[in-house]
Chain A
């Protein structure tokens, strides 16, 4: 009996004070993915990587917008989004107090504008992504050192690129191509 009591006193109180005091969690705890929309370029790498499709991308060509949507209710806190994000816009935080009474509160949206293609004028990619890629390529010296050509190339939609390629091939002529 005495031995037991001694053990009890030696152990002290093991129960954490939470929720009356904040709970200390490890600095690399995988909590709520925190999305920094300013840094996000809406490239959708996270949406592709997300195993349970908690992150979705909704493109509205009519309104020329692309929405980035996350449902924390679907998220499995795996950190794949953080791993693939090229700009560091998403990072798992230490926030774990996520319980809600209505499901709508589990979502976060970020709406980005789409940039028009310089050739056909149809919206095709997020304006921020086009600007970011252009700036990165310019910092690396541009494609074959031609910054203006790089800018135009990045701001052209895939359809137009294909069409331009076809036109070029036509202008060269098949016979010429064979001799090259």
Chain B
């Protein structure tokens, strides 16, 4: 989100780079007729360097971006693609513009990482003016903090017109009668909270929630066999001792609750 800026903030008055009218056609021609490697020049405008590490991970043999002819060069004068990483900081705006001017037309500008797209985690720092698009016109945004090498390759494929974009802006409007379901309404609320908390304490929020959910579904499913038997059967199939331990703990809480130990 870009919140509207007050007229007196420094970045509100930044002049935008002007592009020739023919620019879109020139870029199209570059993408269509490029018969050689696409040369990439990186500009770090002020991120944490995580993005640079992922870019280099993307050109290692494991991901090998060079097999698509994507090559990192040392000078913007050789570049077809300018890769801006990091938030647009006060100090790096002029160098970023110089790199932009130095690259021959037509050029493709890629904004890399959360910082490049919008300022990311640094968006509200005193020295940050936002994303790359606050200084130069951007063609492709690659979100991520940092984007993984695979996301990097995907982003370049989108920039070079090889792959289509997947993400689309969506809007959900609340329908009439839409209601958020309460999970496991048959299990007493207090017991559910205790079980979930304990699972999350032992396994963290994600696995904890998943494990608690599994345990509660076991309690919740109507079956002929008693719950202890079902849990025992589930644990027999479970090869992870850590999960078995958490399940055992949840089960002891449950037994205590059933015998009236918990209120």
Which A residues are within 8 Å of any B CB, using their own CB? 14-16, 18-19, 23, 25, 28, 32, 37-41, 51-54, 56, 69, 71-79, 82-83, 87-89, 96-101, 103-113, 127-128, 131-132, 135-136, 139-140
Interface centre among A69, A71, A113, A127 (most CB of B within 10 A): A71
* B234 interface residue (CB < 8 Å to A): no
Which residues of B are found within 8 Å of A100, using beta-carbon distances? Answer: 140-141, 143, 158, 165, 167
Known contacts A107-B169, A113-B174; is-contact A82 B205 (Cβ 8 Å): yes
- Residues of chain A within 8 A of B6, CB atoms compared: none
* C-alpha spacing A136/B185, complex, angstroms: 9
Set of chain A residues within 8 Å of B62, measured between Cβ atoms = 14-16
B124 at the interface (CB under 8 A from A): yes
Contact B114 A75 (CB under 8 A): yes
- Give 14 new A-B contacts, CB below 8 A, not counting A19-B157, A96-B144, A105-B167: A16-B63, A16-B150, A28-B207, A52-B114, A76-B114, A77-B144, A97-B154, A103-B118, A105-B168, A106-B169, A107-B1, A109-B169, A131-B179, A132-B180
Do A51 and B121 touch across chains, with their CB atoms under 8 A apart? yes
How big is the B interface, by class? 35 or more
B218: min CB distance to chain A, Å: 18
Q: Would you call B123 and A52 a contact (CB within 8 A)? A: yes
B153 to chain A, nearest CB (A): 6
Docked complex Cα distance between A131 and B177 (Å): 11
**A97–B141 contact, CB under 8 A?**
no
Q: What residue of chain B has the Cβ atom nearest to residue A80's Cβ? A: B205
Report whether B1 and A76 are in contact in the complex, using a CB–CB cutoff of 8 Å.
no
Check A135/B118 contact, CB under 8 A, given A72-B143, A79-B205, A113-B174.
no
Q: In the complex, what distance in Å separates the CA atom of A75 from the CA atom of B171?
A: 18
Chain A: minimal CB distance from B128 (Å):
11
User: Of the candidates A16, A71, A83, A111, which one forms a contact with B173 in the assembled complex, judged by CB atoms under 8 Å apart?
Assistant: A111
For residue A22, give the distance in angstroms from its CB to the closest CB of chain B.
10
Judge if B14 is at the interface, Cβ distance under 8 Å: no
| Nearest-Cβ distance from residue B215 to partner chain A, whole angstroms | 15
**Please, how many angstroms separate the alpha-carbon atoms of A113 and B148 in the complex?**
37
Which of A39, A53, A139 touches B124 (beta carbons < 8 Å)? A53
On whether the beta carbons of A38 and B178 are closer than 8 Å, the reply is yes
User: Using Cβ atoms and an 8 Å threshold, which residues of chain A touch B166?
Assistant: 97-98
Please measure, in the bound complex, the distance between the C-alpha atom of A41 and the C-alpha atom of B151, giving whole angstroms: 31
